Amino acid sequence: MKQKRSEIAARYIARIVFGLMCVVLMINILAPDKATSQAENRSLQTFPKFDSEDVLSGQFSQELNNYVSDQFVGRDSLIHIRYLLNKLTGVKKINDVYLGNGTLIQENSAINEEQMNRNINAINNFCINHQVRSGFLLAPNAANIQSDNLPAYSNTIDQDAQMDQIFSMLDTSITQIDVRDTLDKHKDEYLYYHTDHHWTSLATFYAFQQLASSFELGEVKKSDYTVYQVSDNFKGTLAKKVGSVGIQDDIEIYVSDNIKDYVMMDESNGTRTCSIYNSKGLESSNPYDVFLGGNTGLVQIENLNDSDRHLLLIKDSYANSMVQFLLPYYRTITIVDPRYFYEDIERIFNLNLITDVLFLYNTNTFVQDTSIADVLE
């Protein structure tokens, strides 16, 4: 009798499971395709176009598998559930992102020795050949400065050793702006976003105070700026990687009380604006794009001030939030991101009468960069 009841129960369960599978299948068939995943901050595979060559090569089958995986209804929710399960079971890291104490922290990157040596040689030669005021600001990352927030017993790459090596290789004509001690004094403050790999405007301000001293720009005080919070629900690249929930960030901008009128020109698309802040960036999938509108190869800023100094800023995205502090001190600022720059750097240098050169990179990007030498050489 018990066996018969078990068989009946098994049949009912099987029918329920089959019914649920049919419902899920119908929902997936009827639901419209999504172009992007907000949880992962990436484009999703759309239904592949049928092509006989792709079928024979296996490309169509691969794209179809990706399509089914990407367009599965509830995918974003499953990503968030996976994150919560990982936290509950004590997982310390997903891919290269540590699940820290109330924050997400990017693992330090390993050095690409050959390419980094080539980049540093190119930087040294560029500065020696041009004989203008030159500086190199290498920003440490959160795993370095705020290592107390890492999960217990995390074994991170020694970024201090990397930075010491890089600074030791720079030519003596280049001013070394090592902001580790400066940031370490404020390490318990909001220096890095909890969901993103960038530093905050507060950390950038502290770094700028040291930069201003090194470049003889004068004394800088926080009271020189009006601080505006422009976002209170920022979820950055690290959150998109791991599908975190319950963590978000604020974004602040610092507007100098001494700023004059200026115009910013994005040479990649020919647009001109009277602000370095891009409100549309706040509405995008990456709100950090509020600074300069994101990364582009060449940006020119012209100020209506009395300065006789002209800056060439060669940078990665960490420098985007630094420009707000540099604005009052230069007649022109020429911003080059070597990852997207395909013009003649010598022409740009001479055309803009450059007096100051600043290299500004975060360490994780610099030790892996493959574009600096190509631009400078």
pLDDT score at 243:
86
Chain-centre distance of CA 4, in angstroms? 61
Instruction: State the Cα angle at 168 between 163 and 169, rounded to 5°.
Output: 100
What mean pLDDT do residues 115-143 have? 97
Strands 332-336 and 310-315: parallel
What mean pLDDT do residues 330-350 have? 96
Mean pLDDT of the residues in the chain: 86
Domain ranges of the chain: 2-99, 108-376
What mean pLDDT do residues 62-73 have? 48
User: HSE (CB half, 13 Å, CA atoms) of 10?
Assistant: 6
pLDDT score at 363:
98
How many other CB atoms are there within 10 angstroms of residue 270's CB atom? 7
Question: What strands lie across the sheet with 93-94, from one edge to the other?
Answer: 93-94, 97-99, 104-106
pLDDT tens, position by position, 168-180:
999 999 999 999 9
- Cβ contact 164:123 at 8 Å: no
- Cβ contact 31:25 at 8 Å: no
What mean pLDDT do residues 102-113 have? 96
pLDDT tens, position by position, 202-214:
999 999 999 999 9
